[in-house]
């Protein structure tokens, strides 16, 4: 539906059975427990089950968070073949929306559903740490100056 009907070709079609994660998008269902979008695989979702949900694909990853992620991805030269990268970016965005300064374990868990044949996971991890720092610094100098942006600060988990 996303690629063929709507022309949103950034979301890749991989396995079609929810194993590879190439089709990861952000799904925001009003009333979910966190109140924030979650990363989920589009290929296993039925349209009728998403009737009132907001779906964000890589084409819609904008704003300071999108900029921080793109900047970090370039800085750490994450992309190799690129096939899984839209999914990786969407999963990273969801992670940072829920956990502003994730540790390696949280990053590994959040990214575990996306297969990367090129093995760029170490660079992805570094880029997520960098994006978290960039996004946090942007927010600190913007409207919320009380955000703690360093891992060694006494920020809540």
Tell if the pTM clears 0.85, that is, is over it.
no
Indicate whether 78 belongs to any domain.
yes
Asked if residue 135 belongs to a domain, the reply is yes
The CATH number given to whatever domain includes residue 93 is 1.10.150.120
Q: What is the pLDDT of residues 33-82, one digit of tens each?
A: 566 888 988 888 878 787 778 888 888 899 999 999 999 999 999 998 88
Q: Is residue 54 part of a domain?
A: no
Q: How many structural domains does the chain have?
A: 1
In a domain, residue 127? The reply is yes
Domain that holds residue 86: 62-140
Task: Identify whether 118 is part of a domain.
Answer: yes
In a domain, 117, yes or no: yes
The answer for 7, left when phi > 0, alpha when psi is -120 to 50, beta otherwise, is left
Digit-coded pLDDT (tens) for 73-124: 999 999 988 888 999 999 999 999 999 899 999 999 999 999 988 889 999 9
Residue 30 placed within a domain: no
Between 144 and 18, whose confidence is greater? 18
pLDDT at 105: 97
Q: Is residue 14 part of a domain?
A: no
């Amino acid at each position: 539906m996303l690629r063929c009907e709507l022309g949103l070709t950034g979301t890749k079609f991989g396995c079609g059975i929810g194993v590879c994660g190439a089709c990861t998008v952000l799904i925001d269902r009003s009333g979910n427990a966190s109140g924030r979008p979650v990363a989920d695989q589009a290929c296993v979702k039925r349209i009728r089950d998403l009737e009132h949900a907001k779906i964000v694909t890589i084409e819609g990853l904008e704003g300071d968070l999108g900029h921080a992620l793109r900047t970090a991805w370039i800085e750490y030269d994450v992309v190799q073949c690129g096939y899984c990268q839209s999914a990786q970016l969407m999963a990273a965005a969801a992670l940072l929306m829920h956990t502003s300064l994730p540790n390696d374990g949280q990053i590994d868990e959040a990214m575990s559903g996306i297969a990367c044949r090129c093995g760029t996971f170490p660079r992805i991890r570094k880029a997520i740490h960098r994006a978290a720092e960039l996004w946090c610094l942007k927010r600190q100098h913007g409207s919320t100056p009380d955000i703690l942006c360093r891992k060694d600060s006494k920020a809540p988990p």
